[in-house]
Amino acid sequence: MSYFPFADYWWFYLGFTGFVLLLLALDLGVFHRKAHAVSFREAGIWSVVWIALALVFNLVFHQYAAWKFARDPRLLSLPGFDPDAAARQAGLEFLTGYLVEKTLSLDNIFVFVIVFAAFGIPAAYQHRVLFFGVLGALVFRAAFIALGAALLEYHWVILLFGALLIVTGLKMMLAPGKKIAPERNPVVRLFRRLLPVTEELHGQRFFVRLKGMLYATPLFLAVLVVEISDIIFAVDSIPAIFALTREPMIVFTSNVFDLLGLRALYFLLAGAVERFALLKYGLAGVLMFVGLKMVWLNDSFGGKFPIGWSLGIIGGVIALSIGGSLLCAQRGARKSQVAPAHCSRDRL
């Protein structure tokens, strides 16, 4: 049974969406009204702001859940229901889900670096591309979450998604990486057939009219590929967070806060992505763990694997992969030679 049914909390979704749109409007219309290259310092400040905002929301959400659960006759009538324990569970589920989404979004950064290089997008315009990419991603994620919440009512779908995550994790860990060529993406090639694309940029414009004919610019192609990549990543990330919680509200809010901070995280880490050579093993481990939760662990623990354990395992796996990557890079720098093969990242 859902603690936050949509019929009772439609007002929250409406208000939260309006709040997010206000933040995005302020971001583009005030703080980034003029195109400029985002510095490391600026990216760091914004990363702290978005993470702090997510943590504040988590605290307020926990407090509200504790207050609401203690006054909800529908929930209080359930045998053995503990309002405080349920509120703690909801708060931990949001925190764990946010950590998983933030972790999986690190893989997006590698793709963004390649996309911007392939289409020759200068640093001054990259924030604009990511802004509209995030705006579209919010719409697609909301649709995927609604679809996932409906499908996961069937147990066989849970097992299917869990198996998909395990297989994806194994492929990420064992299979050699494939080179990404954004300009050869089938959707991009189809778009070029439908509408001509200019060879050069025209400032911040996505479309331009030349000699009476409408053209798209490489800036729009970059947005298109960013959207496509997010849809692909959502196939993994949405089932992964549904393995941690069955509450669509928690899935939605944790996804939104991750997407809001994704641009700042990109500008913070874009120059150092190659230092995280072992990150793909951490991401693979997270995907396989949440897949195991869906197909086995939850049932083995009476329907719900302890969320505190999940948070510790996921955090530990990611910390080990990041720490190992930095240690590997440091050793390579000391030897003044290319990192050993076992420290290379070939996923891209």
Q: How far is CA 142 from CA 54, 108, 158, 253, 324, in A?
A: 18, 18, 19, 10, 35
Cα angle: 126, vertex 136, 127; to 5 degrees? 15
User: Which is it for the CA torsion 309, 315, 317, 319, positive or negative?
Assistant: negative
Contact between 282 and 106 under an 8 Å Cβ cutoff? The reply is: no
The encoded tokens of residue 122 equal 């200068």
Please report the pLDDT score of residue 341 as a whole number: 46
CA–CA dist 63, 57 (Å, integer):
10
Region for 39 from its dihedrals, namely left if φ exceeds 0, alpha if ψ lies in -120 to 50, beta otherwise: beta
Contact between 257 and 57 under an 8 Å Cβ cutoff? The reply is: yes
> Average of pLDDT values for 129-143?
90
Other CB atoms within a 10 A radius of the CB of residue 38 amount to 20
Contact between 238 and 284 under an 8 Å Cβ cutoff? The reply is: no
pLDDT tens figures, 181-202: 777 778 888 888 889 999 889 8
Q: At what angle do helices 83-118 and 279-292 cross, to 10 degrees?
A: 140
pTM higher than the cut 0.85: yes
pLDDT band at 38 (very low <50, low <70, confident <90, very high): confident
The β-bridge partners of 207 are: 216
pLDDT band at 348 (very low <50, low <70, confident <90, very high): very low
Distance between the two ends of the chain, CA-based, in angstroms? Answer: 42
Q: How far is CA 11 from CA 1, 259, 312, in A?
A: 20, 22, 33
Contact between 100 and 314 under an 8 Å Cβ cutoff? The reply is: yes
Closest CA to 69 of 4, 150, 22, 165: 4
pLDDT band at 68 (very low <50, low <70, confident <90, very high): very high
Q: Which residues touch 120 (CB under 8 Å, ≥6 apart)?
A: 201, 218
CA–CA dist 35, 128 (Å, integer):
8
CA–CA dist 81, 65 (Å, integer):
13
H helices within the chain, ranges in order?
A: 6-26, 40-69, 73-76, 83-118, 123-151, 155-174, 186-194, 218-242, 248-269, 279-292, 298-300, 307-335
pLDDT tens figures, 271-318: 777 678 788 888 899 999 999 998 988 888 877 889 999 999 999 998
Spacing of C-alpha 76 from chain mean position: 35
